[in-house]
Amino acid sequence: MSHIKRILVTGGAGFLGSHLCERLVEAGHDVICLDNFFTSQKSNIERLLDFHNFEFIRHDITMPVWLEVDEIYNLACPAAPGHYQYNPIKTTKTSVMGAINVLGIAKRCRARVLQASTSEVYGDPEIHPQPESYRGNVNPIGPRACYDEGKRVAETLFMDYHRSNRVEIKIVRIFNTYGPRMHPYDGRVVSNFIRQAINDEPITLYGDGSQTRSFCYRDDLVEAMIRMMDCDGSFIGPVNIGNPHEFTIRQLAELVVKYTGSKSKFVHKPLPEDDPLQRQPDITLAKEKLDWEPKIELEAGLKATIEWFRNIDMSHYRAPTPNHD
């Protein structure tokens, strides 16, 4: 490798952050992982602690931090509805103050900074699939707004720092992602279904299970983020990162039951307020600008994720909030 970079990863002990840290450490970079462990686990980064080019800082990104870095990946924010709705004011502060604080570092250090935004900026979409040009259909006063609008404001801040202060920015909009190291109690469908299925518990379907999601495996997603950070500075995004193959929630539940050999039955609960009925990325831009598209099929990804769930000790994972089934 020609150039070793000093790279800060906020939310670096989380599901995606820890895997990103591994990739960057293995590439030889000096990696600083910053996390407050609200929804993440120290065990996610345990194997990295012995590496000379990895350091961990326990810190809340809503508070300023002074570091000298060349690149920043801003992944800090609870991303599962049960977690981000648990303390909605804190969620908004994490997105907004966190963005201000990392952009401040980037401005001072002349560092390139990538914002992990979300498909939730599209709300409950009226256009399908969703291209980056779609401005969204978000309820600004609903129970999900702390996350949706927090991430939208973060994108606004990134663009304004870029225009006003010439900060080098990158924005990726992440669609549903799954894989090993998902928090077992994050309340997302993949982890809920697998946890329920391996224990032969009833599997919870909200509504009739016909709502759709597009599931991207963790490794594919992290690869896209690294490509975005490393690509030509003139392409700043936003760019959709996700799997364009759409599945209903019921189809996902049936696959999980099949691959776990579970005896679980389905139970139905009412659909949560403002829960999007469709979610599918248009990844034309990612293919064109990053030469990227997902490689790992849902079957292979689910099997790897189920295997990981079978091999962890659930007692080592505490539910970050009371909002889990």
Known catalytic residues are 147
Q: Is 25 exposed, middle or buried (0-12, 13-18, 19+ CB in 10 A)?
A: buried
229 with 112: CB under 8 angstroms?
A: yes
Q: In angstroms, how far is CA 175 from the centroid of its own chain?
A: 8
Residue type present at position 195: R
DSSP 48-66: GTT-TTEEEEE--TTS---
What are the backbone angles phi and psi of residue 50, rounded to the nearest 5°? -85, -5
Where is 302: in which H helix or E strand? helix 298-311
Rounded distance between C-alpha atoms, residue 255 and residue 239, angstroms: 29
Helix orientation angle between 298-311 and 189-198, rounded to the nearest 10 degrees: 60
